[in-house]
Amino acid sequence: MTRFTRLALTASAVLLLPGAADVQGQHYALESAAGLELHDVTAEPATLDGKKGLRVTLSEETARRLERMTPEERAQLKQLARIEGLDFSNGIIEAEIAGAPEPGAFEGARGFVGIVFRLQDDNRTYDEFYLRPTNGRAEDQERRNHAVQYISSPDWPWFRLRKETPSKYEAYVDLVPGEWTKVKIEVRGAQARLYVHDNDQPTLIVNDVKSGPDANGAVALKIGPGTIAHFRNLTVERFSDEAR
């Protein structure tokens, strides 16, 4: 299901660095669903731990259809909220996000929550960093090692990357389900870095972003199956070619 609105997000365009020609940014409070194009999800204002944001879950219509879907049909679900009118190629994306399995979720639910970038018009082709919050403090070390993930849809899903290049596109970071987590994504050409918890060093480095060095597209909020997610305080800074 798709819901579309032309209302602007709560956003302000600001020059974030002295080099005005190099970097320009926008801030999105994400305190309403205005300005979001919703695919298979619903979004509503919510407060988590005293902070206002958006609660994003699978839409009721999609949830009703889910049990009747074949595995192939389930794989086609988009489960994202696309930000209208935002074109991104290189720059920095920052946000506070939280994810936890919904009550009664299937055994493999991890509270999957992430940020999509360079999203194409088909809403299926994109790069993404996401968290698996229940893995952060798991007693199984292998699960801990899969706490954060890079993927590139549709050709490079997590299971292909894990099979062909084990550990290269995943890493450990301390996570707690249902708690706000600060993330920062820095993209420069074919390199992308994920920073978590305001750490100075990246948690995960990808030196061969699958969309290539020159791709561009939209930014979106993404959830995985069986997830209740929250998003707030999104900032997008776009680099000029010179700033790359």
Q: Where are the domains of the chain?
A: 25-243
H-helix or E-strand spanning residue 131: strand 126-131
Q: Are 57 and 187 in contact (CB under 8 A)?
A: no
Sign of CA dihedral 168, 173, 178, 184: negative
- State whether residue 162 is helix, strand or coil: helix
Contact 39, 223 (CB under 8 A): no
Sign of CA dihedral 199, 228, 130, 110: positive
**Nearest by Cα to 95 from 191, 181, 216, 201:** 181
CATH of 25-243 given 2.60.120.560, 3.50.50.60, 3.40.50.12280, 3.40.640.10: 2.60.120.560
Please write the tens of the pLDDT for every residue from 39-94. Answer: 999 999 999 999 999 999 998 888 888 778 787 777 778 999 999 999 999 999 99
Confidence of residue 243 (pLDDT cuts 50, 70, 90): low
- Please report where in the chains the tokens 């205005």 appear, as a residue: 34
What pairing do the DSSP bridges indicate for beta strands 191-196 and 23-28? Answer: unpaired
Residue-level pLDDT at 23 = 56
Most confident of 1-10, 12-21, 66-75, 192-201: 192-201
Across the chain, what does the average pLDDT equal? 89
Average of per-residue pLDDT across 93-100: 98
Q: Could you please report the per-residue DSSP string of 34-62?
A: TTEEEESEEEEEEEETTEEEEEEEE-HHH
Query: Is residue 97 very low, low, confident or very high in pLDDT (cuts 50, 70, 90)?
Result: very high
